[in-house]
Amino acid sequence: MPGKREPRSSRMLKAPAAMVASVAVQRGLHVGWKLVTGQEPPTAPDDKQVPLGQAVAWSALFGAAVAGARLIAGRYTSAWLAPRRQRQGLPEPAPGQADAQDHPLPQAEAPGLPYLIVVAVLAWRRRPRI
């Protein structure tokens, strides 16, 4: 929203959360690349000794995964720091009025990121081995 600045506490916590998420995704990608290809991921994709297809695949995968992790971490941090009324989409009470009890019930939320990660890991472990 133009004109509304994000609170400083939110901005200060989003950067470390994004950093932790990008490091975790980077380590996960290295392990995943090793499991899938059986080789170490390219340390320098612009090196002439790395095949072009491998360099492009690693760069695209790495860039998309790290950018996505930073985005998700920033959004979850902002949502975690938002006031309860803002998270549930409730209107703010008018100045001088007490908190009204006649607000609608909150809607069911989608599953959180930790739950989705656990489901993905369990599904991956249960896949048939060839």
pLDDT in tens, the chain (130 residues): 455 666 676 777 888 888 999 999 999 999 998 988 888 888 887 888 888 888 898 899 999 999 999 998 888 887 776 665 555 555 666 665 555 555 566 666 666 777 778 888 888 777 666 6
Residue 66 contacts residue 26 (beta carbons within 8 Å):
yes
pLDDT recorded at residue 67: 92
User: What integer pLDDT is reported at residue 69 of this predicted model?
Assistant: 92
* Contact between residue 41 and residue 58 where contact means Cβ atoms under 8 Å apart: yes
CB-based burial of residue 69 (10 Å sphere; 0-12 exposed, 13-18 middle, 19+ buried)? buried
Question: Taking a C-beta distance cutoff of 8 angstroms, is the pair 18, 26 a contact?
Answer: no
Question: What is the predicted pLDDT for the residue at 86?
Answer: 57
Closest CA to 63 of 95, 26, 117, 10: 26
pLDDT of residue 82: 63
What local confidence, expressed as pLDDT, does residue 114 receive? 77
pLDDT value at residue 27? 93
Q: What is the pLDDT of residue 4?
A: 64
Question: pTM above 0.75?
Answer: no
